[in-house]
A and B are shown apart, each in its own frame.
Chain A
């Protein structure tokens, strides 16, 4: 399912402009949404999930017009949503909670619903604790309940907002793999500020900043755009300074190796290096702040 977003604007009370004229096309498969805190990612997710109404603009999900009440309702019927702040009923068991959400998603056949709940508990490795109350669950287990509830109705559109927050490294990898598998035959929108999660799962991405679209394209496009802007500097002297951003610092035996992002090499001995997606993201955010480039021109 393809999602088309046109001139999407959201102005909250007191004239806070959370989204400002976003034009975006989200293809089938995994799609990453990156941006710093306050960029407007969660607002965009909430509008796509039908929770918020846009102030201006249009959304089309496949054949569904997402700007009407009927359209929003139709999108909810094919949607799986994992919000950033996942609320659960602490006094229900995992199985009861999933059963309840299943009912609210319109899975009215009791046996089919029970089967689906069992399948998903198995998928997220919670079968053994299905009868335990949710208040006894760890943060990671709660996130897994969250992804299970999102998948109950086998959604054609899956929106996950910061899904790996609070997960340990192993759980994160398992979760990323699960999302990638799901992205094979549906649209999965992954919103995060963890660049690594996008790098490992998404071919296409968009970057938001202060409610505006800063970049839309493939991860390869973004990496290409930052080529020649990433350097490693190995020195036993002071930390490099100037108009650059230190991305990482690695202490070696007698020297320190810095990985920096900047427009030029400031120091003799700076070696150009291949950018990672994280470097490219940092470069883009720097460039945006400096107002150096017209970001949307980066579209491939």
Chain B
């Protein structure tokens, strides 16, 4: 028997994915929230045909990323406390698998499952574009846009939604998260309130969209100077590094907390 990091990580990812995917609420809540997305003005069916495909795809990715991560973050917040509620830590802590593998597996598995309905909603718009424009390039372009624009933001949100409930009451975290989302992503500087919505640390993905998929100004952002490929790459790197840091700190904190018992 080998008690390695990777088998435990893959096993935990597989089963956390399976358990989260079986929750009806992730499908219902995400599809209900998608009504906000579908009724917006920057959907694939609202663009004129002279708009370039990459702009349509990237703008659709940003629109999906403006609202759907709210429900994504809220639905992930119970994953860690749920184990405690079900009295699982005593059983799991007596197993030889490293606790870090279990935490990372919970993160990847439940984030991937919760992102599935978001991906379906997003991809329905991409398929519409492919048919509407008779251009199959929409499919690979759509996948690339999802990876560059949506995935880093979702991984960022998932990290904090998984780990913060280790120190915060879940409903309080969910309330603060929704407030943060509107303040940190959707509130432009024009409102006169200090905000991080125009910085690289904006999971909505405006920097990646503008940097990789369009000329400056073609993508709806919150008024920042989004535009270059480097800024897009910088934003992705910062979001992923923040997520990794949050998980690392959480793992150290949980280990410390466990040792104090």
5 shortest interchain CB distances as A-B pairs: A103-B11, A87-B87, A87-B88, A104-B97, A106-B1
Partner of B91, one of A13, A108, A149: A149
A-contacting 9-mer, from B12-20, B41-49, B125-133? B12-20
Chain A interface mostly helix, strand, loop or mixed? loop
Residues of A contacting B137 with CB < 8 Å? none
B86 touches A89 (CB 8 A): yes
Contact A89/B19 with A51-B90, A108-B1 known, Cβ cut-off 8 Å: yes
Contact A108/B2 with A76-B96, A79-B94, A89-B19 known, Cβ cut-off 8 Å: yes
B1 touches A77 (CB 8 A): yes
A34 at the interface (CB under 8 A from B): no
For the complex, give the distance between the alpha carbons of A105 and B10 in Å. 13
Can you identify 7 A-B contacts, CB atoms within 8 angstroms?
A76-B95, A87-B87, A89-B19, A103-B12, A105-B96, A106-B2, A106-B96
B60 vs chain A, min Cβ distance (A): 33
A85 touches B11 (CB 8 A): no
Contact A87/B86 with A79-B94, A106-B7 known, Cβ cut-off 8 Å: yes
A72 vs chain B, min Cβ distance (A): 10
Contact A81/B94 with A53-B259, A92-B15 known, Cβ cut-off 8 Å: yes
B3 touches A50 (CB 8 A): no
For the complex, give the distance between the alpha carbons of A83 and B87 in Å. 10
B94 touches A76 (CB 8 A): yes
Which residues of chain A in 69-115 are interfacial with respect to chain B, using CB atoms and an 8 Å cutoff?
A: 73, 76-77, 79, 81, 83, 85-92, 96, 100-101, 103-108
With A46-B90, A50-B94, A83-B94 known, 11 other A-B pairs at CB within 8 A are: A73-B3, A76-B96, A85-B87, A85-B90, A90-B86, A91-B19, A92-B18, A103-B97, A104-B8, A104-B102, A105-B95
For the complex, give the distance between the alpha carbons of A149 and B91 in Å. 10
Residues of A contacting B86 with CB < 8 Å? 87-90
Across the two chains, which residue of chain B brings its CB closest to A85? B87
Contact A77/B3 with A83-B91, A86-B91 known, Cβ cut-off 8 Å: yes
A230 at the interface (CB under 8 A from B): no
Contact A87/B83 with A51-B94, A96-B18, A149-B91 known, Cβ cut-off 8 Å: yes
Which residues of chain B in 195-220 are interfacial with respect to chain A, using CB atoms and an 8 Å cutoff?
A: none
B92 at the interface (CB under 8 A from A): yes
* Chain A contact residue count (CB 8 A cutoff): 33
A235 at the interface (CB under 8 A from B): no
Q: Which residues of B contact A (CB under 8 A)?
A: 1-4, 7-8, 10-12, 15, 18-19, 22-23, 83, 86-97, 102, 259-261
Residues of A contacting B83 with CB < 8 Å? 87
Across the two chains, which residue of chain A brings its CB closest to B23? A91
Residues of B contacting A73 with CB < 8 Å? 3, 96
Q: Which residues of A contact B (CB under 8 A)?
A: 12-13, 46, 49-53, 73, 76-77, 79, 81, 83, 85-92, 96, 100-101, 103-108, 149, 153
For the complex, give the distance between the alpha carbons of A105 and B226 in Å. 48
A166 vs chain B, min Cβ distance (A): 14
Most buried by B among A12, A77, A104: A104
Residues of B contacting A50 with CB < 8 Å? 93-94
A87 touches B90 (CB 8 A): yes
Partner of B3, one of A46, A81, A87, A106: A106
For the complex, give the distance between the alpha carbons of A89 and B88 in Å. 8
B122 vs chain A, min Cβ distance (A): 26
Residues of B contacting A83 with CB < 8 Å? 87, 90-91, 94
For the complex, give the distance between the alpha carbons of A91 and B24 in Å. 11
For the complex, give the distance between the alpha carbons of A85 and B90 in Å. 8
For the complex, give the distance between the alpha carbons of A79 and B96 in Å. 9
Residues of A contacting B1 with CB < 8 Å? 77, 105-108, 153
